[in-house]
Amino acid sequence: MRIHIATDHAGLEFSEDLQNHLAAAGHEVIDHGPTSYEPLDDYPSFCINAAQAVVEDQAQDIAALGVVFGGSGNGEQIAANKVRGVRAALVWNVSTAELARQHNDANVIAIGARQHSVDEAKLFIDTFIATAFTGEERHARRIAQLAEYEITGSIAGHQID
Query: How far is residue 104's CA from residue 11's CA, in Å, rounded to a whole number?
Result: 25
E strands, 92-153, where?
108-112
Residue 116: predicted pLDDT: 96
- Give me the active site residues, please: 76, 103
Predicted confidence (pLDDT) per residue in 41-86, tens digit: 788 999 999 999 999 999 999 999 999 999 999 999 999 999 999 9
Query: Would you state the pLDDT for residue 47?
Result: 97
1-to-112, 142, 148 alpha-carbon distances in Å: 23, 26, 27
Give the per-residue pLDDT at 126: 98
Q: What is the pLDDT of residue 127?
A: 98
Please identify every stretch of the chain with a pLDDT value under 50, giving residue numbers as ranges: none
Distance (Å) of CA 91 to CA 56, 60, 72, 82, 106: 23, 26, 10, 18, 11
What pLDDT sits at residue 46?
96
pLDDT at 10: 80
Query: What type of residue sits at position 95?
Result: S
